[in-house]
């Protein structure tokens, strides 16, 4: 039984200020930016949740809080089940390494045994059809090839909870169909999906629920069609205001 519960979570992230200003102007000190205040959320078995919201609404931060990367300063985050967080950051971590080495590191990062890593890598190479390019440094990859490798990295796991941030692009048309079929099969094996993506096509395909976030608050949480309607309405208002 997988679930994620956020109870009265408050979180602000900290950052070093921008480097603008004169050469001799100090930019020391951490700034703090409040993202969530008294945030409550419960996601249960079988929920495939899309995170919707304008840029900067807090979608990525929410995913990081769920993944345990960020610890909230107040409130509690409880999760049950094996989590796989995929925020698309690892691809090109070391662009001078080959696709194969990037895959190996991914496997090690997930703490998988060698045997499984090798098996999975074989499957991934077949699936992504990268062929000999898998031995070339990732820095030489085209966008489409990087997308394929990113999808490949998703194949490593059978987790109960999958947290996926944007970064899953489309790739070429032919590959897209294959990737969709794969994600569907992946979703059968994992129990919860939390998915942040700007592609409505992907969201509608994979999710049954959605959360609309605005300025760190849940505007609506429910069945996907209704939330998307509300989201479009909200976006429309924003465009209209401009």
Partner 1 sequence: MSLIKDIKNGYARKKLWKRLAVLELKSRYQGAVIGSFWIVLTLMLKVFMLSLVYTMVLDRDFKEYVMFLAIGVLTWNFISAVIVTSGTVFKKATNFLLEIKLPHSTFVFQNIYREVISLIMYQLFAIPLVIILKGWSFVSIVWLWALFGYVLIVLNAFFINFWLGWLATRFRDIQPMLSSVIMIIFLVTPILWPPPAEYANSLYFQLNPFYHLLELIRAPMLHNQIPVLSFQVAIGLLVFNMAICFAFYHKVKNRLVYWL
Which tokens in the block code for residue 220?
A: 């609506």
| Least spacing, CB of residue 184 vs partner 1, in Å | 24
- Distance between CA atoms of 191 and 185, rounded to whole angstroms? 12
Could you give the 3-state DSSP secondary structure of residue 8?
A: strand
- Distance between CA atoms of 91 and 172, rounded to whole angstroms? 18
| Given 86, 156, 175, 195, the residue binding partner 1 (CB under 8 A) | 86
Residues 55-74 that bind partner 1 (CB under 8 A): 64, 67-71
Q: Which stretch binds partner 1 (CB under 8 A): 92-100, 171-179, 192-200, 206-214?
A: 92-100
Q: Which is nearer to partner 1, 14 or 173 (CB)?
A: 14
Q: Which is nearer to partner 1, 27 or 123 (CB)?
A: 27
| Given 46, 89, 184, 199, the residue binding partner 1 (CB under 8 A) | 89
Binding mask 27-46 for partner 1 (x = CB under 8 A): -x-x----------------
- Distance between CA atoms of 7 and 76, rounded to whole angstroms? 5
Handedness of CA 105, 107, 110, 116 (dihedral sign): negative
Q: Which stretch binds partner 1 (CB under 8 A): 14-22, 141-149, 191-199, 221-229?
A: 14-22
Q: Which is nearer to partner 1, 44 or 90 (CB)?
A: 90
Secondary structure element (H or E) that encloses residue 35, with its range: strand 31-44
Could you give the 3-state DSSP secondary structure of residue 30?
A: coil
CA neighbours closer than 13 Å in the CB half-sphere of residue 194: 31
| Least spacing, CB of residue 89 vs partner 1, in Å | 4
Q: Which stretch binds partner 1 (CB under 8 A): 35-43, 81-89, 192-200, 230-238?
A: 81-89
| Least spacing, CB of residue 84 vs partner 1, in Å | 9
- Distance between CA atoms of 194 and 177, rounded to whole angstroms? 21
Q: Which stretch binds partner 1 (CB under 8 A): 96-104, 184-192, 213-221, 224-232?
A: 96-104
- Distance between CA atoms of 227 and 225, rounded to whole angstroms? 6
Which tokens in the block code for residue 208?
A: 């049954």
13 lies in the site for partner 1, by CB under 8 A: yes
CA neighbours closer than 13 Å in the CB half-sphere of residue 59: 23
Q: How many residues does the chain have?
A: 242
Q: Rule CB under 8 A: which residues touch partner 1?
A: 13-16, 28, 30, 64, 67-71, 85-87, 89-90, 93-94, 96-97, 101, 104-105, 108-111, 114
């Amino acid at each position: 039984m997988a679930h994620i519960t956020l109870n009265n979570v408050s979180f602000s992230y900290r950052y070093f200020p921008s480097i603008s200003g004169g050469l001799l102007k100090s930019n020391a000190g951490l700034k703090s930016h409040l993202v969530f205040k008294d945030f409550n959320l419960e996601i249960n078995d079988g929920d495939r949740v899309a995170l919707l919201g304008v840029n900067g609404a807090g979608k990525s931060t929410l995913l990081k809080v769920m993944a345990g990367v960020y610890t909230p300063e107040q409130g509690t985050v409880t999760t049950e089940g094996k989590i796989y967080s995929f925020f698309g950051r690892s691809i090109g971590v070391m662009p001078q390494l080959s696709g194969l080495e990037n895959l190996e590191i991914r496997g090690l990062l997930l703490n998988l045994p060698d045997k499984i890593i090798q098996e999975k890598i074989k499957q991934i190479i077949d699936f992504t059809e990268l062929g000999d390019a898998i031995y070339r440094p990732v820095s030489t990859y085209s966008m489409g090839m990087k997308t394929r490798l990113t999808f490949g990295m998703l194949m490593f796991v059978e987790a109960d909870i999958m947290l996926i941030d944007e970064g899953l692009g489309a790739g070429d048309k032919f590959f897209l169909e294959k990737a969709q079929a794969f994600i569907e099969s992946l979703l059968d094996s994992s129990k919860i999906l939390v998915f942040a993506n700007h592609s409505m096509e992907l969201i509608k395909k994979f999710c049954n629920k959605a959360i609309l976030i605005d300025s760190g608050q849940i505007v609506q949480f429910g069945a996907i069609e209704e939330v998307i309607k509300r989201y479009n309405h909200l976006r429309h208002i924003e465009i209209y205001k401009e």
